[in-house]
A and B are shown apart, each in its own frame.
Chain A
Amino acid sequence: MSHHRLASWGPLGVLSGAVLGFAFWSLLDRGVGLETLHNKIDNAAVELRTATKAVQRLASGQAWDYDALTAASKRLRKNAESLRQTLLSYDPDAELVTVDPLAFLLRDIDEIEQFKTDHSVYRNATRAADNALRGLTEAFETESPSTAIDLLPIADTIHRARVLGGVTPGELKEASQELNWVLGQTPGDSPNKAVLASVARYLTTIRDRDAILETVAALDASVAGDCLEIALASVHHALTERSNNDAVRQRIFIVLLVAALTYGGLLINRQRQTAGELATLNAALERRVSERTQDLAAEHHLIESLITAAPNGVFWKDTNGVYLGCNRAYARLVEFDDEESIVGLSDEHLPWEDESRIKKLAIEEELLRSGEAVTNRVAAKRLKSGVQRELVVSKAALTGDDGSITGIVGVYTDVTELNRLRDRVQNGDRLQAVGQLAAGIAHEINTPIQCAAANLTFLRDAVATLLGIAESCQRDHHAEAPTETTRPAADWTRMLERLKQHAPAAIEESDVAIGRVTEIVRAMRVMSHPGTAAKELVDLNTLVESAATISRNRWKYTAELQLDLDPELPLLPVLTNDISQLVLNLIVNAADAITEVRAEDDPLGTIRVATRVESDGVLIEIADNGGGMTPEVKRRMYEQFFTTKEVGKGTGQGLAISHDIVVTKHGGRIECDSELGEGTTFRVWLPMADAPAEPESADERHEAVDDPQDLLAASPGAVY
């Protein structure tokens, strides 16, 4: 089915991509080019301003050498070249750009070079002419004072001309005419005539270059900037116009868009139909899996209650009397907060009242010596705090492989409360406990029963209908013609068709549901008498593959499941059902974790299940890329009844049971890495060698229950 999904989304994806790409192309490519062009023109404008400034400094005499202007001119030329490249890449045929910013720049560069050429001569000629005229006016003061006076305005003009902008071309022309007149008036034998002639020549040289006076004005920075802006606007305008001419492109775009939307709509419609069919199939499968899951959860709830959470205090110690471990009930009994703290201590460290301790130790010493178990001995023990406990005590020696005694295991059943209750009401509380249990069982049985009931209702109606048809047939058989009240034959046909279609399924479902109930009841019986299910050598890869198969409809719409199984995996001694359930739990959890965060259109998530050999055992790794867990959730995940799932979806048992299966039953380890938003990875390590499994044998328990004297004092677990 997932292949089908991919196959139908593929072309749509390609088409959408193409349409989007086309849209971007038709809307954006012009703008990008223009931005580059704009930047380059800006750079050129900045450089042009630098050059203009250099020209003005030279014109005003603030600068003398041409190095700064030359450097600016070189940079400007480089800018122009870069601009040329951009324009070419943009408008290769040069048909769009009517106002060419490049031509404008090149003209300015030429003007700058021309300015240097002319300015160097102009500057020297004005200086030389100025110096010569100063000498001449002095000389003429004695030779011809009137000539000296005539020369004064000329000298003034030329002196002012030494700074560009100090004179106008008109003034220079006037000075030249004046000088020629003076030259004509001066007699040929005058010693100053040659000097006057040279001044006239300088003046001609200056006037030949008076164009630079305008160059300076023309290079005005703001004018330059404006010109470049106008040029840019022109380029912009030309290109926009060309874009507008591409309206055909836009029409194609719209046609493609409409086509894509229509195609997409059809696909989505088909997708919905398919999804509907799938959902129906799925619902049935899911119901079965959830029923199975709930059964398993209930089963383990019972076991958990019996062994771990039983109110019986259990402890075990070595031959030196040092505690190796105990359960929570025992820890509470001796007023410790948790069971771990007791490990490594001996009875001297526990708050027994002296007499109680001495008795306890004496019994244990005797046990170690003789190896004979002590069963259901009733004892009252006092603690230093003054609390007195009535206990039923069973103790046995722990033996190693060679039969030697390695320690003691003890079971203390606190019957203080029970005895008290027995004194008060003989039966009330116990019935209440049974009632509570029954409520739990009722819940388990309810679902299949409801299913069966619903089907039964349907079948009842079906039978009524059939009877109706039968009667009608009978009547028709007797009557010559169909009566008015008779339903048309087509109606009957349709109803029969419907019955034919649904009735077998209803019967089948009822059958299955009642089978479930039977199974639950049987499972309860198994629970209450858990046999010594032996570990068998099993190929874990097969277990993983089976679990993956069974759970398939829980993950396949959410995630892709990758199996990375080590083909070299050795056979492992495990409890097959437990490990199957463990893997199933973890896969279903992974799928749920992905479903929680995944939107409908997101790509499938990934669940990766891997197996490999690791340090005398086998590692099963189940990783998902779902939402991960918060530290709070991570801390509590192994707790019973703790669940993050919606009411009715999770029992809060799965991980608690998993933990129990791995650690308690197989002596393995279960670890979890979870990063919020990244995903979760569970690693389950199971040892190659058979680990100590059930902490107590069923025989011993029977022994305890069977002892008639202490029936009521025994564990309430007996009521199961």
Chain B
Amino acid sequence: MISENMLKDVVVELLRKTVTVMPADVVNELKAAMQRETEDVPKMQLKAILDNLDLAEKTITPLCQDTGVTIFYVTLPRCLDLDVGKAITEGVRIATKEVPLRPNAVHPITRKNPGDNVGKGMPWVNYKVWDKDYIEITVMTKGAGSENMSQIAMLTPSQGIKGAKEFILNTVLRAGSNPCPPTILGVGIGGSSDIAAKLSKEALLRPIDKRNEDPEIAALETELKNALNELGIGVMGLGGKTTVLGVNIEYAYCHTASMPVAVNVQCWAARRGTAQIFPDGKVKYPTHER
């Protein structure tokens, strides 16, 4: 049976896994980047990145000190009589102490830090309902260095896809060495200003070795990745062949007068984790199965 207490324990374990072990698709792409690289400086940076991943996993230590703010995506079966939000909040509080996570959440104006990553609107939980019988909880522990480089543009329909590409290119150029490249770009096209921004982050939940199901969007993802890797910003902005590890695009229909485009920049340390909690109490962590 699923209880709030059990969910809280799952949230702690999910956070522990998420901040200490990277999903395989990102590790594979980092290793491929190392294989491609010919220059000494980016090679040295990639070696540090890969050595650090090994060390973090072996010692069960957060691989990056910036464990982000806790943004959750939860999908629930219909008619569930549980306060999932409360369990998540408690889980975050405990994980901050036990994993530990860095206490990052502060009041936006006073900058006061309560020390437990819990405050108004934090953890932030996005809810959906589905027809399946299990609960799915996904968390992204994303650092601010890359989040701070994210951008949104309300383009006009006449600027079209060309305008979108130009905006994505300019976002990468403006970010330069700052977001811990090689980055992953989550792109949200369409919807409205808020929906585009939301889609751009949700795009980052998809593994980078999976292309969008729509063949046209998939081709656009590949085109952008190849072009952006010609820029030479490279690893940590110190040059080299890999500036982006992947480009993931999600879209939604939008108003005939609008063309919203949002880019969410994700550092190489793209930590995401998912837990599935089944009615019999079994728990699976599909992002962290080896």
Instruction: Please indicate whether A and B come from the same complex rather than being unrelated chains.
Output: no
Residues of B within 8 A of A (CB): none
